[in-house]
């Protein structure tokens, strides 16, 4: 009988990713305290800070003016989300060359299955040599520093990464229990404050404490997760990394605005622009949506949302953005607080099974032909080659004011919009055609 080889899962995570991107884009920032954030009046929050800035007490979620007070010589960088996504793609393209199984988790982190690599790839080196070679290559080719953790499961790998930062930590097979014994349970991803309090009531502050509890107690309290936690604490949780091949059911985006937006028409334009971007993703993946939802969070942390179910699955800008406009009005009704976050979600996706004609005789056929042509142009020339009115308004405003391109740039006032385009702001992005 051949014994099963223990899983070896690698977690790679960008170090202070947005701030590191800014330093990769501008070499003059090297060695300086840098944080990303701000707003049009300098009243925004910090969304990322490098290690030099953190030494002065700057942290994510802090007001930018407070960061400047703590670190007067520090540099505030406005977000450049397009560049961040580009650097992320380059980072993942490098990681793909180191394993046949790569599972991205976010813009700056992913899991790699290295279980069979020792036998077939890194015979002449160690796991540390292989992983540090990957880290060095990402640093050299993108300018981005990354940390990494290697363990028996995704849980262990991610925990090892948090211990490693900045650097690399391997938890060898059969050493997991000793590695975990004195570590606080709150360090494990997925253990929120509620679970942490529940474990503390049971007398479990560390993983060593968890390992000494009867597994039946944890199962009774937490269900399957409790059983998994007990196995993990005892070094017995062997978790292979699987690429799930299944139909996508949801496409969504959630964006916290760089500043609290008091202008609801500006928020509407951003929502239309983001919806158009997601519709392009639907087309590229050959999907259409049966349902869409919009949720908005305000500065007082209240939230309002609405959902629409289409009579027939949709993938067309014209139909979807008309519905989005109605959802926006419904969600914003009665609210007076500035907008902080916008979430758009397309649900219940199904394969696109319609093929529009090139020259249609009906509105639906013509819109279908236009969407298909847009998809082909984007496929050949890249995202953003064809823009909706809302997208063009946002991008052109950036160019006029020399602001860095961002996922949520500053939106002009009504007066500025009239001056720039000679028409009312209400018309921007609200027509059902592409420019």
Q: Sign (positive/negative) of CA torsion 103, 105, 110, 115? A: negative
Helices (H), 248-316: 264-284
Residue 281 CA to residue 346 CA, distance in Å, equals: 11
Cis peptide preceding 119, ω within 30 of 0: no
| Catalytic annotation present for 109 | yes
Burial of 67 (0-12, 13-18, 19+ CB in 10 A): buried
Tell me if residue 206 falls in helix, strand or coil: strand
Q: What b/e string do you get for 279-291 counting C-beta neighbours within 10 Å, with b at 16 or more?
A: bbebbeeebbbeb
What would the two tokens of residue 363 be? 């509105």
Q: Which of 15, 22, 202 is nearest to 108 (CA)?
A: 15
Active-site hit among 83, 90, 96, 109 = 109
- Number of neighbours of residue 75 by Cβ within 10 angstroms: 20
C-alpha torsion 33→37→42→43, nearest 10: -120
List, as one string, the DSSP characters of 161-198.
HHHHSSSEEE--TT-HHHHHTTSBGGGSTT--HHHHHH
Q: Which of 328, 345, 368 is nearest to 289 (CA)?
A: 345
Burial of 176 (0-12, 13-18, 19+ CB in 10 A): buried
Phi/psi of residue 11, each to 5°? -110, 125
- What DSSP character marks residue 356? -
Tell me if residue 200 falls in helix, strand or coil: helix
Active-site positions read: 109
């Amino acid at each position: 009988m051949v014994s099963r080889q223990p899983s070896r899962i690698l977690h790679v995570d960008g170090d202070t990713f947005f701030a590191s991107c800014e330093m990769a884009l501008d070499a003059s920032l090297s060695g300086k305290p840098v944080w990303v954030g701000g707003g049009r009046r300098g009243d925004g929050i910090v969304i990322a800070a490098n290690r030099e800035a953190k030494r002065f007490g700057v942290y994510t979620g802090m007001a930018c003016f407070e960061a400047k007070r703590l670190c007067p010589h520090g540099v505030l960088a406005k977000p450049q989300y397009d560049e961040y996504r580009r650097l992320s793609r380059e980072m993942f393209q490098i990681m793909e060359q180191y394993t046949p199984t790569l599972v991205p988790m976010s813009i700056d982190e992913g899991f790699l299955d290295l279980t069979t690599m020792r036998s077939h790839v890194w015979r002449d080196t160690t796991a540390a040599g292989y992983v540090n070679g990957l880290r060095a290559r990402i640093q050299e080719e993108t300018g981005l520093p990354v940390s990494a953790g290697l363990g028996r499961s995704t849980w262990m790998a991610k925990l090892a990464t948090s211990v490693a930062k900045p650097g690399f930590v391997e938890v060898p097979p059969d050493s997991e229990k000793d590695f975990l014994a004195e570590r606080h349970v709150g360090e494990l991803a997925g253990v929120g404050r509620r679970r942490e309090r529940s474990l503390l009531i049971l007398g479990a502050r560390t993983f060593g404490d968890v390992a000494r509890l009867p597994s039946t107690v944890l199962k009774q309290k937490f269900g399957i997760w409790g059983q998994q936690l007990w196995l993990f604490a005892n070094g017995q949780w062997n978790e292979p990394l699987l690429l799930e091949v299944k139909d996508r059911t949801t496409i969504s985006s959630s964006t916290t605005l760089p500043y609290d937006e008091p202008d609801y028409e500006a928020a509407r334009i951003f929502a239309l622009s983001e919806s158009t971007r997601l519709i392009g993703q639907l087309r590229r993946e050959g999907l259409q949506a049966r349902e869409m939802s919009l949720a908005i969070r305000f500065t007082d942390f209240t939230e309002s949302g609405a959902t629409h179910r289409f009579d027939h699955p949709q993938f067309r800008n014209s139909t979807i953005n008309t519905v989005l406009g109605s959802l926006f009005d419904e969600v914003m009704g009665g609210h007076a607080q500035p907008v902080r976050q916008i979430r758009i979600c397309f649900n219940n996706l199904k394969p696109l099974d319609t093929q529009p004609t090139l020259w249609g005789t009906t509105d639906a056929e013509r819109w279908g032909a236009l969407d298909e042509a847009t998809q082909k142009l984007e496929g050949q020339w890249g995202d953003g080659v064809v823009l909706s009115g809302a997208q063009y308004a946002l991008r052109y405003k950036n160019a006029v004011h020399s602001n860095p391109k961002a996922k949520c740039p500053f939106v002009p006032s009504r007066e500025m919009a009239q001056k720039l385009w000679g028409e009312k702001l209400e018309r921007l992005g609200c027509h059902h055609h592409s420019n």
